[in-house]
Amino acid sequence: MGLVSRPPNIVFIGKKPILTYLNATLTLLANEPTVTIKARGRSIVTAVDVSQMIVKRMSAMGYTVSGVRIFSERLESKDGKERNVSTIEVDVSKSQNA
């Protein structure tokens, strides 16, 4: 129930094994033309890895990276201070000619 307010085509990268996010993204791509993989801080590399696993290993399925955005978000850290945290959003889409 905690996921209700999240847009349905976003996969947020956390601390689970990378295959969790690969499967989540591929599951969403079965029904959505574009899925956004989002990550903050050290998880950014995992977001890029997931997108590349999909594009490289599933190339027969015709998936491409259709957009990459980077920005920073102000988040409150555990010590109560606000910090800028780098964020990435990678859009993966079905190719037009697939």
Residue 55's closest CA among 31, 40, 35? 35
- Inter-axis angle of helices 18-29 and 44-57, nearest 10: 50
Shortest Cβ distance from residue 42 to a second copy (Å)?
6
With contacts defined by CB under 8 A, name the span among 3-11, 19-27, 63-71, 75-83 that binds a second copy. Answer: 63-71
Nearest to a second copy of 26, 90 (CB atom): 90
Residue 6 near a second copy by CB under 8 A: no
- The CB density around residue 90, as the number of other CB atoms within 10 Å, is 25
3-state helix, strand, coil in the chain (%, to 5): 35, 40, 30
Residue 69 near a second copy by CB under 8 A: yes
Please give the residue ranges that form the binding site for a second copy (CB under 8 A).
41-42, 44-45, 48-49, 51-52, 56, 65, 68-72, 84, 86, 88, 90
